[in-house]
Amino acid sequence: MKGKDTSASGRPGLVAGAFIAAMLTASLIAVFYLAWKVAGLPFIPFDVFDWMTRILPGQVLAAGIGVMVTVIRALRLGATATTAKAAEQAMGIACLFFTATIAGTILFGIVRASRGRHAYSLGFGLGILLGVPMALISHRVGQTASTGPLLSAAWIIGAFLLWGVILGSADRRLLTVAGESAKPAVEAATGEAAERIDRRRFLVRLSGATAVVTVIGAIVGELSDERRKALGSELSRRMLWSSTHPFPNADATVQPVPGTRPEFTPLERHYRIDINSIPTAVDPQQWRLKVGGLIEKPLALTLADLQGFDPMHQFITLSCISNPVGGDLIGTTRWTGVSLQRLLPSLHLQPGATHLEIRAADGFYEVVSLETIRSDERVMLTYAWDGVPLLPEHGYPLRIYIPDLYGMKQPKWIESIEATNHAKPGFWVIRGWDSVARMKATSVIDTVAVDMTIINADHQRLVPIGGIAHAGARGISKVELQVDEGPWQEAALRKPFSELTWVIWRYEWPFDPGKHTFTVRCYEGNDIPQIAEPSPIEPSGATGLHSKSEMF
């Protein structure tokens, strides 16, 4: 009886070759990770994944986003933005792992067929076959590396070459242990048993060595990353505007129900949705905002130049167009920047200019009409949130804010502005999403605080229910709550931070034992009700009423 990793002729089967390829590929990925965290060299899994998100059809991306959000919410896997980003990163790692493992298995089959001859040169060839395209992809995307292009390319190709040579050597060694290159095909039973022991010992030693490399690479890389994160978080906490200033509605009489999401979103909890596996890294010393196109003379503005204009401070709620009804891809903070309306005269636009094309360092872009900018001073180039420079994940050093629009229309990591004489569909618009992307009115039940009941003057037991309502820059005039199929009852509204932020609402429901379903709806500032008819997030943002069912 032959082992499961042995073919009918006594030669090691493809399962053994796949095992070797998988172990060595895991070590390769760990080494890439360690080099990325310690030396800033490219991390190929993320670069390849980011490249794929830029070339896949828009319908595929939209379907993937929808499935991911649905699964995260259904399984309650945590904050949608954080979990989705972790899932994307895991998919990137898995993609490289399986691609290289399959390639390595094919290599083993070829080496086995040639009885171990040319194993090194075949492994070298496989390293070239994978390394060169990976280097080109990494160079094109360039999201993970802080090193120069030549060093990055040399590292990628060299790492894959070494992986390929070691893989070919391991394949040849396994065949040698099994007697493929030195022994006849028919052996005595005792000889076969000895070969199986030797083969098993070789595979165990190989797996042990690769496991050590994998674990060391992962742990050292992660520890290095955690130290940097801890230092950055500590510095940010010392400087936050919100830690030393009262909020503009500090005197509001209506108080949030315990369990309602924070009215002011901590920076570390503000959602992040973009096209990258990791935040785009921008060198603050080299960065300039390049302004060109239909202007009298090209400009290159530093961050200090922009900060030289009178700053604008706005409390803003931003939402992602992928946010489902009741979702958490929405947040509120204090934005600081320069009004584009005030900046325009300094750009010296030519008379024919009608739009500004805004491009980000990660390849994302969007177009804003000059009519919008001239009619709304709140459109601004933002360089700080909550009193501190934008965090890398939120667009450092510069992002734009355009009132009433979803985040898909508002680039981060801005590096250039081009004045043009025509409109142009943006990054997500050409991938099938709404060309306007105007925020839909939405209301959410965050909590039914049954453990925080209140006894009123009539000795009636009341259960506080609370949440948020938001309608972009249009404001909220009214929020109503319905219990089961009963009448709609108006909730109390807390004074918002500004006309651009969500509103916290509160309703005190007379307690009634049993199972009940609570539904909320809101009205925009001009008394237009939110859309009750359910619709998916694609292509214009989700609509529908949010409900919660509770047993008392």
Note the pLDDT tens digit of each residue in 491-541: 999 999 999 999 999 999 999 999 999 999 999 999 999 999 999 999 999
Span 125-129, average pLDDT:
96
Q: For residue 230, what are the contacts with CB-CB under 8 A and spacing of at least 6? A: none
Which residue in this structure is represented by tokens 């379903």? 517
How would you classify the pairing of strands 515-524 and 546-551? Answer: antiparallel
pLDDT over threshold 70, residue 82: yes
Q: H-type helices in 142-188, by residue range?
A: 149-177
Tokens of 304: 């200090």
Q: Which residues contact 227 (CB under 8 A, 6 or more apart)?
A: none
**Least confidently predicted of 64-68, 99-103, 373-377:** 64-68
* 253 vs 182 pLDDT, higher one: 253
Region 442-551: CATH code:
2.60.40.650
Specify whether the CB–CB gap between 138 and 144 falls below 8 A.
yes
Class of domain 270-431: alpha beta
Neighbours of 80 (CB within 10 A): 22
Please report where in the chains the tokens 């028919």 appear, as a residue: 186
Give the span between the Cα atoms of 446 and 260, in whole angstroms. Answer: 5
* pLDDT score recorded for residue 61: 86
- pLDDT averaged over every residue in the chain: 89
Asked if the model's pLDDT at residue 189 lies above 70, the reply is: no
Distance CA(462)–CA(471), nearest Å, equals 29
Residue 471 CA to residue 541 CA, distance in Å, equals 12
Q: Supply φ then ψ for residue 17, to 5 degrees.
A: -65, -40
Q: How large a percentage of the chain has pLDDT more than 70? A: 87
Asked whether residue 226 carries a pLDDT value surpassing 60, the answer given is no
Other CB atoms within 10 Å distance of the CB of residue 269: 14
Instruction: Give yes or no for residue 223 having a pLDDT over 70.
Output: no
Helix %, strand %, coil % for the chain, to 5? 40, 20, 35
- What are the start-end ranges of the H helices in 398-533? none
Burial class (CB in 10 A: 0-12, 13-18, 19+), 285: exposed
**What's the CA gap between 278 and 414, in Å, rounded?**
16
pTM for the whole thing?
A: 0.86
CA 375, distance to chain mean position in Å, is 33
Q: What is the pLDDT of residues 437-466, one digit of tens each?
A: 999 999 999 999 988 888 877 778 999 999
Say what the pLDDT of residue 185 is. Answer: 43
Q: Tell me what pLDDT residue 222 has.
A: 64
Task: Report the distance separating Cα 209 and Cα 230, nearest Å.
Answer: 32
- Do 456 and 248 form a contact (C-beta atoms < 8 A)? no
Q: Which residues contact 208 (CB under 8 A, 6 or more apart)?
A: none
Is the model more confident about 427 or about 195? 427
Report the distance separating Cα 183 and Cα 118, nearest Å: 18
Domain ranges of the chain: 14-228, 270-431, 442-551
How would residue 233 be classed by pLDDT, with cut points 50, 70 and 90?
Answer: low
Express each pLDDT in 402-416 by its tens digit.
Answer: 999 999 999 999 999
Residue 399: name the closest of 338, 349, 343, 354 by CA: 338
* Average pLDDT over every residue of 110-133: 93
**pLDDT score of 198:** 61
With helix as H, strand as E and coil as C, how does 220-271 read? Answer: HHHHHHHHHHHHHHHHHHHHCHHHCCCCCCCCCCCCCCCCCCCCCCCHHHCC
**pLDDT (tens digit, 9 = 90+) per residue, 37-80?**
888 999 999 999 999 989 988 888 888 888 898 899 989 899 99
Kindly report the backbone phi and psi dihedral angles of residue 313, in degrees, each rounded to the nearest multiple of 5, phi listed first: -115, 125
Q: What is the model's pLDDT at position 115? A: 84
pLDDT in tens, 111-122: 999 988 889 999
pLDDT of 486 above 50: yes
Cβ contacts of 140 within 8 Å, gap of 6 or more: 51
| Of 33-47, 342-356, 419-433, the least confident | 33-47
Which has the closest alpha carbon to 509: 480, 486, 488, 483? 483
| pLDDT score, position 207 | 65
Please state the three-class secondary structure of 511-527 as a single string.
Answer: CCCCEEEEEEEEEECCC
pLDDT of residue 2: 44
**509 token code pair:** 């429901």
Contact 32, 44 (CB under 8 A): yes
What's residue 184's pLDDT?
47
Q: What is the mean pLDDT of residues 180-198?
A: 48
Range scoring the smallest mean pLDDT among 18-27, 208-217, 275-284, 435-444: 208-217
Average pLDDT over residues 127-152: 92
Residue 437: left if φ>0, alpha if ψ -120 to 50, beta else—which one? left
Indicate whether 317 pLDDT > 50: yes
And the tokens for 424? 């142009």
